[in-house]
């Protein structure tokens, strides 16, 4: 998958509404990432690791996984 322009240097992109993190190197559903970027609810992590995403309360997304969407706090 080609990385979005805003997150071109990030491997992991989180959705603030669902607290799910997507691995752009292995994720294949482009529509989900486009919707996150288009809604301006994406977040990247520094350092760009899954451990840092989990430290902030995010869970690795898997195909078919859904969560209730909440309004982002920040």
> pTM higher than 0.85 for the full model?
yes
Distances (CA, A) of 63 to 5, 26, 47: 23, 11, 25
Digitized pLDDT (tens) for each residue of the chain, 74 residues in all: 788 888 999 999 999 999 999 999 999 999 999 999 999 999 999 999 999 999 999 999 998 887 877 777 76
Q: Which pLDDT does position 74 carry in this prediction?
A: 62
- HSE of 23, CA atoms in CB hemisphere, 13 A: 12
Q: Which pLDDT does position 1 carry in this prediction?
A: 73
């Amino acid at each position: 998958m080609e990385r979005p322009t805003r997150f071109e240097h990030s491997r992991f992109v989180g959705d603030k509404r669902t607290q799910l993190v997507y691995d752009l190197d292995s994720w294949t559903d482009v529509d989900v990432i486009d919707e996150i970027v288009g809604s301006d609810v994406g977040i990247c992590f520094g350092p760009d690791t899954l451990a840092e995403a989990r430290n902030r309360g995010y869970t690795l997304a898997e195909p078919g996984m859904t969560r209730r969407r909440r309004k982002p706090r920040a």
